[in-house]
């Protein structure tokens, strides 16, 4: 099993041995690609799913600091917290870089940058950059992907 995130097409492809490739529309960083901590950019390179968070929670479950708040996202909740710019909903796949000096260790460490593949509100636009560094997906797609992958699944985030 392997995932390719393609920045140019804003897609995520899941390839499973002996099965057809599944393609999802995503949204990567509005500030483009980059490795540096604090850049709000999506890191390129070879990664792995370090942790899966949110198994069994409802669609649109709200996370803060990787913890379920007990809330379910709604437009009313959005209005209550208008300054929260990048809602993390439904599920989280926490990524870790595999390339020392490029996306692992020091000020380029993907895991220390808290880079995830995560769910977002249904109103969030997919197919164009808009996140704060993570790879966003609509909630139902996120749950579908989450249920298909395991910790240790490799991911390449590619510019093309």
Give me the pLDDT at residue 19, please. 86
The arithmetic mean of pLDDT across residues 31-40, rounded, is 97
Give me the pLDDT at residue 119, please. 98
For 75-128, the pLDDT digits (tens) are: 999 999 888 767 999 999 999 999 999 999 999 999 999 999 999 999 999 999
Give me the pLDDT at residue 110, please. 98
Contact status, residue 24 vs residue 120, Cβ threshold 8 Å: no
Give me the pLDDT at residue 130, please. 94
The arithmetic mean of pLDDT across residues 36-43, rounded, is 97
What's the mean pLDDT when you consider all of the chain? 96
pLDDT above 70 as % of the chain:
99
Strand partners, 95: 49
Give me the pLDDT at residue 149, please. 98
Token pair for 83 = 């300054």
Structural domains for the chain: 2-158 (2.40.440.10)
Question: What pTM does this model have?
Answer: 0.95
For 137-151, the pLDDT digits (tens) are: 999 999 999 999 999
Give me the pLDDT at residue 108, please. 97
């Amino acid at each position: 099993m392997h995932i390719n995130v393609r920045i140019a097409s804003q897609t995520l492809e899941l390839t499973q041995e002996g099965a057809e490739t599944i393609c999802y529309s995503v949204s990567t960083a509005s500030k483009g690609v980059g490795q540096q901590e604090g850049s709000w950019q999506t890191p390129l390179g070879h990664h792995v799913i370090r942790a899966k968070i949110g198994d069994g929670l409802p669609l649109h479950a709200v996370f803060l600091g990787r913890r379920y708040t007990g809330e379910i996202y709604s437009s009313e909740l959005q209005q209550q917290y208008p300054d929260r710019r990048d809602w993390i909903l439904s599920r989280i796949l926490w990524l870790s870089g595999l390339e020392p000096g490029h996306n692992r260790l020091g000020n380029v460490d993907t895991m220390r940058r808290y880079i995830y593949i995560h769910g977002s509100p249904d109103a969030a636009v997919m197919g164009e950059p808009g996140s704060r560094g993570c790879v966003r997906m609509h909630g139902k797609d996120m749950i579908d992907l989450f249920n298909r992958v395991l910790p240790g699944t490799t991911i390449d985030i590619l510019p093309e």
